[in-house]
Amino acid sequence: MAKKTTRTAAGLRFGIVVARFNQRITGKLLSACTDTLARCGVAADDIQVVRVPGAFEIPLVARTMARTNRVDAVICLGAVIRGDTPHFDYICSEVSRGIGQAALETEVPIIFGVLTTETVAQAEERADQQQFNRGGAAAQAAIEMVKVMRTISGKDRKLESGEPASQSGRMRQKGKR
Protein backbone atom coordinates (compact mmCIF):
# COMPACT_ATOMS: atom_id res chain seq x y z
CA MET A 1 0.00 0.00 0.00
CA ALA A 2 1.37 3.41 -0.97
CA LYS A 3 2.13 5.84 1.81
CA LYS A 4 -0.48 8.59 1.91
CA THR A 5 1.04 12.05 2.13
CA THR A 6 -0.60 15.19 3.39
CA ARG A 7 -0.60 17.86 0.73
CA THR A 8 -0.35 21.39 1.96
CA ALA A 9 -1.66 23.93 -0.48
CA ALA A 10 -1.82 27.04 1.69
CA GLY A 11 -1.15 30.14 -0.38
CA LEU A 12 -2.07 28.50 -3.68
CA ARG A 13 -4.92 29.98 -5.72
CA PHE A 14 -7.44 27.95 -7.69
CA GLY A 15 -10.10 28.71 -10.24
CA ILE A 16 -13.01 26.33 -10.63
CA VAL A 17 -15.19 26.33 -13.72
CA VAL A 18 -18.37 24.34 -13.13
CA ALA A 19 -21.23 23.61 -15.52
CA ARG A 20 -24.77 24.33 -14.34
CA PHE A 21 -26.20 21.63 -16.63
CA ASN A 22 -26.72 18.44 -14.60
CA GLN A 23 -26.56 20.58 -11.45
CA ARG A 24 -27.53 17.66 -9.22
CA ILE A 25 -24.23 16.03 -10.19
CA THR A 26 -22.00 19.06 -10.69
CA GLY A 27 -23.05 20.55 -7.35
CA LYS A 28 -21.70 17.45 -5.59
CA LEU A 29 -18.48 17.62 -7.61
CA LEU A 30 -18.03 21.27 -6.66
CA SER A 31 -18.70 20.59 -2.99
CA ALA A 32 -16.12 17.79 -2.84
CA CYS A 33 -13.63 19.91 -4.78
CA THR A 34 -13.87 22.92 -2.48
CA ASP A 35 -13.90 20.69 0.63
CA THR A 36 -10.69 18.99 -0.53
CA LEU A 37 -8.99 22.30 -1.26
CA ALA A 38 -9.99 23.61 2.18
CA ARG A 39 -8.71 20.45 3.91
CA CYS A 40 -5.40 20.99 2.11
CA GLY A 41 -5.10 24.51 3.49
CA VAL A 42 -6.46 26.63 0.64
CA ALA A 43 -8.20 29.74 1.98
CA ALA A 44 -11.73 30.44 0.76
CA ASP A 45 -10.50 33.77 -0.68
CA ASP A 46 -8.04 31.82 -2.85
CA ILE A 47 -10.81 29.89 -4.62
CA GLN A 48 -12.73 31.54 -7.46
CA VAL A 49 -15.79 29.65 -8.73
CA VAL A 50 -17.29 30.51 -12.10
CA ARG A 51 -20.47 28.83 -13.29
CA VAL A 52 -21.12 28.31 -17.00
CA PRO A 53 -24.25 27.00 -18.77
CA GLY A 54 -22.87 23.60 -19.77
CA ALA A 55 -19.75 21.55 -20.37
CA PHE A 56 -19.18 22.95 -23.86
CA GLU A 57 -18.53 26.41 -22.37
CA ILE A 58 -15.92 25.20 -19.87
CA PRO A 59 -12.75 25.38 -22.04
CA LEU A 60 -13.12 29.05 -23.02
CA VAL A 61 -13.68 30.17 -19.44
CA ALA A 62 -10.87 27.92 -18.15
CA ARG A 63 -8.41 29.37 -20.67
CA THR A 64 -9.50 32.93 -19.89
CA MET A 65 -9.16 32.30 -16.16
CA ALA A 66 -5.70 30.76 -16.60
CA ARG A 67 -4.53 33.77 -18.60
CA THR A 68 -5.38 36.20 -15.77
CA ASN A 69 -2.33 35.09 -13.74
CA ARG A 70 -4.59 35.19 -10.67
CA VAL A 71 -4.76 31.39 -10.27
CA ASP A 72 -2.14 28.67 -9.99
CA ALA A 73 -4.47 26.07 -11.53
CA VAL A 74 -7.97 25.76 -12.96
CA ILE A 75 -10.28 22.86 -12.16
CA CYS A 76 -13.01 22.05 -14.69
CA LEU A 77 -16.13 20.28 -13.42
CA GLY A 78 -19.08 19.06 -15.43
CA ALA A 79 -21.20 16.04 -16.26
CA VAL A 80 -22.02 14.86 -19.76
CA ILE A 81 -24.39 11.89 -19.80
CA ARG A 82 -25.11 9.90 -22.95
CA GLY A 83 -28.54 10.37 -24.46
CA ASP A 84 -30.25 9.08 -27.59
CA THR A 85 -28.33 11.26 -30.07
CA PRO A 86 -24.65 11.65 -31.02
CA HIS A 87 -24.62 15.00 -29.18
CA PHE A 88 -22.79 13.28 -26.28
CA ASP A 89 -19.85 12.29 -28.52
CA TYR A 90 -19.44 15.79 -29.94
CA ILE A 91 -19.60 17.49 -26.56
CA CYS A 92 -17.18 15.07 -24.87
CA SER A 93 -14.70 15.36 -27.71
CA GLU A 94 -14.75 19.15 -27.85
CA VAL A 95 -14.63 19.65 -24.09
CA SER A 96 -11.66 17.34 -23.61
CA ARG A 97 -9.84 18.81 -26.61
CA GLY A 98 -10.55 22.36 -25.49
CA ILE A 99 -9.39 21.83 -21.93
CA GLY A 100 -6.19 20.16 -23.08
CA GLN A 101 -5.50 22.89 -25.61
CA ALA A 102 -6.11 25.60 -23.00
CA ALA A 103 -3.57 24.00 -20.66
CA LEU A 104 -0.97 23.78 -23.40
CA GLU A 105 -1.56 27.37 -24.55
CA THR A 106 -1.41 28.91 -21.08
CA GLU A 107 1.08 26.54 -19.40
CA VAL A 108 -1.20 26.60 -16.37
CA PRO A 109 -2.49 23.28 -15.00
CA ILE A 110 -6.10 22.89 -16.12
CA ILE A 111 -7.64 19.78 -14.62
CA PHE A 112 -10.26 17.69 -16.41
CA GLY A 113 -12.95 16.90 -13.83
CA VAL A 114 -15.75 16.44 -16.34
CA LEU A 115 -17.69 13.21 -15.95
CA THR A 116 -18.52 11.48 -19.23
CA THR A 117 -20.87 8.64 -18.40
CA GLU A 118 -23.32 6.32 -20.09
CA THR A 119 -26.01 6.72 -17.43
CA VAL A 120 -27.19 9.05 -14.69
CA ALA A 121 -26.47 6.27 -12.17
CA GLN A 122 -22.81 6.18 -13.25
CA ALA A 123 -22.56 9.96 -12.86
CA GLU A 124 -24.18 9.84 -9.43
CA GLU A 125 -21.74 7.12 -8.34
CA ARG A 126 -18.75 9.25 -9.40
CA ALA A 127 -20.17 12.26 -7.55
CA ASP A 128 -21.07 10.35 -4.36
CA GLN A 129 -19.61 12.08 -1.31
CA GLN A 130 -19.37 8.75 0.53
CA GLN A 131 -17.30 7.12 -2.20
CA PHE A 132 -14.56 8.37 -4.50
CA ASN A 133 -15.95 11.72 -5.61
CA ARG A 134 -14.21 12.90 -8.80
CA GLY A 135 -14.48 16.53 -7.71
CA GLY A 136 -12.19 15.83 -4.76
CA ALA A 137 -9.85 13.88 -7.01
CA ALA A 138 -9.69 16.84 -9.41
CA ALA A 139 -8.71 19.13 -6.53
CA GLN A 140 -5.94 16.75 -5.48
CA ALA A 141 -4.67 16.56 -9.08
CA ALA A 142 -4.64 20.37 -9.29
CA ILE A 143 -2.55 20.69 -6.14
CA GLU A 144 -0.12 18.06 -7.37
CA MET A 145 0.20 19.65 -10.80
CA VAL A 146 0.93 23.10 -9.34
CA LYS A 147 3.73 21.54 -7.34
CA VAL A 148 5.04 19.63 -10.37
CA MET A 149 5.08 22.77 -12.51
CA ARG A 150 6.81 24.75 -9.77
CA THR A 151 9.43 22.04 -9.40
CA ILE A 152 10.10 21.99 -13.13
CA SER A 153 10.35 25.78 -13.28
CA GLY A 154 12.71 25.87 -10.29
CA LYS A 155 10.28 27.67 -7.98
CA ASP A 156 10.23 24.68 -5.59
CA ARG A 157 13.54 23.05 -4.73
CA LYS A 158 12.22 19.55 -3.96
CA LEU A 159 9.47 17.26 -5.10
CA GLU A 160 6.72 16.41 -2.63
CA SER A 161 8.46 13.10 -1.92
CA GLY A 162 11.54 14.97 -0.74
CA GLU A 163 13.63 13.85 -3.70
CA PRO A 164 15.87 16.61 -5.06
CA ALA A 165 14.36 17.92 -8.28
CA SER A 166 17.58 17.39 -10.22
CA GLN A 167 18.20 13.77 -9.13
CA SER A 168 16.37 12.12 -12.00
CA GLY A 169 18.18 14.37 -14.48
CA ARG A 170 21.58 13.45 -13.00
CA MET A 171 20.74 9.75 -13.26
CA ARG A 172 19.90 10.10 -16.95
CA GLN A 173 23.10 12.05 -17.58
CA LYS A 174 25.12 9.19 -16.09
CA GLY A 175 23.34 6.75 -18.39
CA LYS A 176 21.35 5.09 -15.61
CA ARG A 177 17.65 4.53 -15.93
Active site residue ranges: 87
Per-residue DSSP letter, 68: T
- For residue 128, which of 60, 57, 79, 56 has the smallest C-alpha distance? 79
Amino acid identity, position 98: G
**Going by C-beta distance under 8 Å and a sequence separation of 6 or more, which residues neighbour residue 173?**
none
- Give whole-number Cα distances, 155 to 20, 42, 85, 109, 148, in Å: 36, 19, 47, 15, 10
Burial class (CB in 10 A: 0-12, 13-18, 19+), 150: middle
**Nearest-angstrom CA–CA distance, 111 and 38:** 17
